[in-house]
Amino acid sequence: MCSFDVSSLFTNVPLDETIEICLDKLYALANPPRLPRLVLKNLLLFATKKSHFVFDGQYYDQTDGVAMGSPLGPVLANIFMCDFEEKWVMKNINQPTIWFRYVDDTFTLFKNKDDALNDLILILVFMQKRILVIFQLIKYTRKLLFQACHHDIL
């Protein structure tokens, strides 16, 4: 068993990559948006990369990551994490037996400890250099508390 947390996910979402993921998914649909792709991309860039904030009386531009409190934060973070799951987790040779994720917290169960350590951790750490992932190997117990839900194992 393994759990991990993506530290400060919203402020570390790689915006350029996440916007491209959005565009690729939207324009691959049978009925894509009527807006030209470049127009939608510029709108998303404007909505995410033109954020300003004040700290200690100084104005700053937030150039990457989603601004705290932005209504786009949860959506873009989830899109980024879903894409990660599609590309890295579900295509991994040693897929987890169980994979539960809530925003940036994930609980996984692998067939053995080596699968979890050798495959998933390496992929997570090297997949995104800017994303800090905190791992915790969990000792076997018959009952687990995960996201305020009680699950019996076995």
Quick: pLDDT tens for 6-15: 778 888 888 9
Average pLDDT over residues 42-52: 89
Q: What whole-number distance in Å separates Cα of residue 34 and Cα of residue 118?
A: 45
Give the confidence band of 99 by pLDDT, cuts at 50, 70, 90: confident
Cross-strand pairs, 7? 132
148 φ/ψ angles, rounded to the nearest 5 degrees: 60, 20
Task: Write down the mean pLDDT value for the chain.
Answer: 78
What are the helix and strand counts (H, E) for the chain? 6, 8
Tens-digit pLDDT profile for residues 108-143? 887 777 766 666 666 666 555 556 665 555 554 444
Q: What whole-number distance in Å separates Cα of residue 57 and Cα of residue 64?
A: 21
* Total-model pTM: 0.74
Tens-digit pLDDT profile for residues 49-84? 887 788 899 998 877 788 878 889 999 999 998 998
* Strand 58-62 relative to strand 98-102, pairing: unpaired
